[in-house]
Amino acid sequence: MLYREAGQFRATYAEDQQIFPLRQDRVAIGVLLVAAFIAVPLVADQYWLSALLIPFLIAALAALGLNILTGYAGQLSLGTAAFMAIGAFATYNFVLRVPGIPILAAFVLAGICAAIVGIVFGLPSLRIKGFYLAVATLAAQFFVLWAIQRIGWITNHSASGVITAQNIAILGVPIDTPRAKYLLTLSVVAVLALLAKNLVRSETGRAFMAVRDMDVAASVIGIPLMKTKLLAFAISSFYCGVAGALYAYTYLGTVEPEAFNLELSFRILFMIIIGGVGSVLGSFLGAAFIVLLPIALNLVVPPISEAAGIEIPHAIISNLELMIFGALIIFFLIVEPLGLARLWQIAKEKLRLWPFPH
């Protein structure tokens, strides 16, 4: 009863095509945004902001980027971290070499750089498919990292390719506290998530899904495969690039190319598998899950082992984490391939009737 749509009539197509047609959804998202923008900065301490919320938001943005390519357009990529790296290092260079460039402009330009490289590495998708393509995206992962490490100009000839993000400001307000960094990250992620949501429910999104579900049929109804696939690579890489830029400027501060290794690409892939392939919401749920799990393990395991009188070294916990990640991937792919987002949807359908059985 709580989540009831009875009495809410949609009399026009415009009403039917709202981003959140149900009143409850609109209220919920409004409350969530108010909480995220106003309550959290007032309440949360530095640890919460810097160690939990900022990495969560950035991971969600990267997962959203991968989800556009893999979940919506059906092209599996194992090179996500490489495009994040491009975003981070491109931002560094824009800020370094273009005096007075607004940081948001630098983010956008860096995202465009990632998108261009994404198009280049997306070209093979026109001839090869499935896991051949997935393996081919590893070329992007390894080549991009190599290039950043070897081309001194990219890192301004710093030792071993480590860069330190410059201090940034927006309209003269310095972004130097965890709170300011959180608000900047949140704003960027919220805007990009809204744009992504609009995109996937319009013509472009339908073209992506058509190519994913059956490419021959898609081309027969007039969807150009080449343009559609390359657009998916470009948009996806743009999102990953901006995520990488935030990773450097609002989270890590000091970045080495190795931070964007294959491990990170896999982690982001895990986020969309667990959260929900082909779902904007799923990108957020999956990111929350993967970011929170290690922290939860480190909180939960030591007290249990203490109570049981055995000492569990930190190495075991990190191995346990690997095992749980692996097992969850296997579990979700077998039991609920559409991930947490699908579980959420099922829960909502149940709530429409709750507490009555019918």
Partner 1 sequence: MTPSDRGIGAPILAVEGVSLAFGGVRALQGVSFDVREHEVRAIIGPNGAGKSSMLNVINGVYHPQEGTITFKGRSRRDMVAHEAAAQGIGRTFQNIALFRGMTVLDNIMTGRNVKMRSTFLEQSIWIGRARREELAHRRKVEEIIDFLEIQHIRRTPVGRLPYGLQKRVELARALAMEPELLLLDEPMAGMNLEEKQDMCRFILDVNEQFGTTVVLIEHDMGVVMDISDRVVVLDYGRKIADGTPDEVRGNQTVIDAYLGVAH
Partner 2 sequence: MGSPVSFFFEVVISGLLAGVMYSLVALGFVLIYKASGVLNFAQGAMVFFAALTFVSLVERGVNFWLAIAITLAVMIVLGILTERIVLRPLVNQPAITLFMVTIGLTFFLEGLSQGIWGSQPHGLELGIQDQPMQWLADRTGMFVSQFDLFASAVAAILVTGLALFFQRTRIGRALRAVADDHQAALAVGIPLKQIWAIVWAVAGFVALVAGLLWGARTGVQYSLTFVALKALPVLMLGGFESIAGAIVGGLIIGASEKVAEVYVGPYVGGGIESWFPYVLALVFLLFRPEGLFGEKHIDRV
In the list partner 1, partner 2, none, the entry touching 221 (Cβ below 5 to 8 angstroms by class) is: partner 1
Least distance (Å) between residue 50 CB and partner 2: 27
Closest CB to partner 2 among residues 54, 269? 269
Q: Considering CB distances under 5 to 8 angstroms, the limit depending on partner class, which of partner 2, partner 1, none binds residue 315?
A: partner 2
The residue (of 126 and 195) whose beta carbon lies closer to partner 2 is 126
* Beta-bridge mates of residue 164: 254
Piece in contact with partner 1 (CB under 8 A), picked from 13-21, 78-86, 266-274, 292-300: 13-21
* Binding site partner of 131, from partner 1, partner 2, none, Cβ cut-off 5-8 A by kind: partner 2
Alpha carbon distance 22, 5 (integer Å): 7
HSE-CB at 173 with a 13 A cutoff on CA atoms is: 9
For 163, phi then psi, to 5°, come to: -120, 155
Asked if 127 is part of the footprint of partner 1 (rule: CB under 8 A), the reply reads no
In the complex with partner 1, the residue whose CB is nearer, 19 or 316, is 19
- Residue 74, sorted as left (phi over 0), alpha (psi -120 to 50) or beta, turns out to be left
Number of residues that bind partner 2 (CB under 8 A): 42
* Cα–Cα distances in angstroms (integers) from residue 162 to residues 88, 239, 249, 252, 344, in the given order: 12, 23, 14, 12, 41
The stretch among 40-48, 195-203, 261-269, 340-348 that binds partner 1 (CB under 8 A) is: 195-203
Q: Where are the beta strands (DSSP E) in the chain?
A: 163-164, 169-170, 173-174, 254-255
Interaction mask 326-355, partner 2, x per CB under 8 A: xxxxx--xx--x------------------
- By CB under 8 A, name the one of 187, 219, 261, 345 that touches partner 1: 219
**In whole angstroms, how far apart are CA 177 and each of 104, 173, 174?**
17, 11, 8
Which of 32, 214, 333, 346: binder of partner 1 (CB under 8 A)?
Answer: 214
Distance CA 61, CA 280 (A): 10
281, 344 Cβ separation under 8 angstroms: yes
For residue 110, give Cα distances in angstroms to 115, 230, 238, 240. 9, 18, 8, 10
* Binding span for partner 1 by CB under 8 A among 204-212, 281-289, 315-323, 345-353: 204-212
Query: Of these, 183, 235, 242, 273, which contacts partner 2 (CB under 8 A)?
Result: 273
Decide: 229 and 126 in contact? Cβ < 8 Å: yes
In three-state secondary structure terms, 35 is helix
Would you tell me which residues interact with partner 1 (CB under 8 A)?
13-14, 16-17, 19, 195-196, 198-199, 202-207, 209-210, 212-214, 216-225, 231, 235, 278
Would you tell me which residues interact with partner 2 (CB under 8 A)?
76, 124, 127-128, 130-132, 134-136, 138-139, 142-143, 145-146, 149-151, 216, 262, 266, 269-270, 273, 315-316, 319-330, 333-334, 337
